[in-house]
A and B are shown apart, each in its own frame.
Chain A
Amino acid sequence: MICYKCQSVLGEGDHCQVCGEYVGLYKKVVSLSNVYYNDGLEKASVRNLSGAVISLQQSIMLYKNNIAARNLLGLVYYEMGEVVAALTQWVISKNLETENNPADEFMNELRMSPTRLDALSQNMKKYNVALKYCRDGSLDVAVIQLKKVLSSNPRFLAAHQLLALLYMNSGSYSKAEKELNKALAIDNGNTLTRRYLAETSKMLSPGSVDDSLAPAPDRQEDVREYVSGNETIIEPVASRQRGTGVSILGISIGILLGLFTALFLILPQRIEKINLEANKKIAEFSEEAGSRSAQLLDKDHEIEGLNADIEKLQAEIDSYEGTDETVESMSQLLAAGRAYITDPADFENIGAHLDKVNVSEEESDSPDEQTAFYRALLEVCGVGLGDYYYRSGYEALENQEYDKAIADLARSVKYDSTNTAALYFLGSSYYESGELDEARKIYDQVMNEFPDTRYANNAETRIAEINNLGD
């Protein structure tokens, strides 16, 4: 024993022989610590680890420098599977006593085997995860996890106890008893283990048969009874033995029946439905294709007719002699026809040729071929030409290009005499360009040909303005 003041070795008396400090009580405290250490050692030697822990904790609480007690406490913790608690005691021991300390050896054994330390660390994590599963209600998963923990570290006392508790909760008292016996082999002084064992013994008392035991010889061979929770269950042995094979056979038959049902009942209906839908779609497409074909046929006939007219007229042209103007007019007419056949919407091109055609405007019962062809061409593209020139003329009017506006709008009226707006804006173009007489004529025409329209009203207003200007 060392004096706490001068660190010298103490003798028999209550005072330090070197510094004279009173050490009576101090010596008693240290002695008591040793008593507890001896008690802990004795308990540990008979595997009463829980008791040893209590005694050794008392020992170091009285005297923290009791290195032997601290190291032994670490060993006991390690034996119970509490590695971190063990390491804590050894580290503190090493710090209190740096030289010739057995704690070095214990820690080196762990340090030398990093995989062992890592496995222990993983085990503790798995145990904590299993505990969490228990609290969350996932008891089956917790059982699996605890079995893994115990397969890796069979000396983990708390894991044995928790697994036993889970077995007891599910009624598997014999399995619980096995786990508790293993826990008892690690620590025979643990009160929790003993309490659980008492409970399992009570549940497995004579008069009930455990779920894992074979039937007693004096019972019937074909029945077995066991206790599950608060109930006693009696069931024939044979059904369980035959159960697995019958189940597999039943499942196989069920699968086959299902396949046959699908193949002969459900599949044909599905196929028929799909076929009906496909046929319906084919019919729709055929109908549409038919109508398109009819339209194309009509267009083909129209083109054939026009081509025939062109040929006839070409022949007529060839028979003409010395009439340049007529030939030129006919050429332009034919060119307009060709332009229409090439692209019926190419009004610019068609109009450019038709403008140069010189035909009689007079109505006749028997018009010549040129006039007839001209009129026929106008019937198919007159409205389009009128609209084309109307838009061009209107744009020119807005841009104050009155000459162009007059020319285009005049063409529009020529090719489509039903276009009220074209006629009116032709008048407006003359009005804006200062040609009031021409404007008045056109406005009169609007009022006469399209009375009761807003253009007629506007034209009347314009005529009044022109008259006022004249005055």
Chain B
Amino acid sequence: MINFEEELSNFKPSLEIEEAEDLIKNQNLDDMSDILIRLMKEAENGGNQRGRT
């Protein structure tokens, strides 16, 4: 049996056109490839430092 109140709470308000600008600005565009590149650079820098010492 479906609980009306519980189901209703799952419905979220739809985004309005006026909110689009804020939504776009606040988008986090970091993806897996960015994280991977960052990790690789950190690993490379860490290796270089060990090499110097």
Q: Give residues in A with beta carbon < 8 Å to B.
A: 4, 22, 25-26, 29-30, 33, 60-64, 81-85, 87-88, 91-92, 117, 120-121, 124-125, 127-128, 131, 134-135, 158, 161-162, 165, 168-169, 192, 196, 199
Contacts and interface: CB of A to CB of B under 8 A. Distances in A.
B20 A84 contact: yes
Counting chain B residues whose Cβ lies within 8 A of the other chain, the interface size class is 20 to 34
Contacts, number: 85
Contacts of A158: 11, 14
B43 to A, nearest CB: 10
A33 B31 CA distance: 10
A177 to B, nearest CB: 13
30 contacts: A4-B37, A25-B36, A29-B32, A29-B33, A60-B31, A62-B32, A63-B31, A63-B32, A64-B30, A83-B17, A88-B20, A91-B20, A92-B29, A120-B17, A121-B16, A121-B17, A124-B14, A127-B14, A131-B11, A131-B13, A134-B11, A158-B14, A161-B11, A165-B2, A165-B8, A165-B11, A168-B2, A196-B2, A199-B1, A199-B2
Contacts of A33: 32
Contacts of A161: 11
Interface in B32-49: 32-34, 36-37, 40
B16 A128 contact: yes
Contacts of B34: 64
Contacts of A87: 17, 20
Contacts of B14: 81-82, 84, 124, 127-128, 158
Given A25-B40, A135-B8, A125 B16 contact: yes
Contacts of A26: 33, 36-37
Contacts of B15: 82, 84-85, 124
Contacts of B16: 84, 121, 124-125, 128
Contacts of B8: 134-135, 165
Contacts of B2: 165, 168, 196, 199
A81 B7 CA distance: 20
Contact of A84 (B1, B19, B36): B19
Contacts of B33: 4, 26, 29-30, 62-64
A62 B40 CA distance: 16
Contacts of B23: 84, 88
Given A26-B36, A84-B19, A199-B2, A91 B24 contact: yes
A61 B13 CA distance: 24
A196 B14 CA distance: 20
Nearest to B7: A165
Nearest to A127: B14
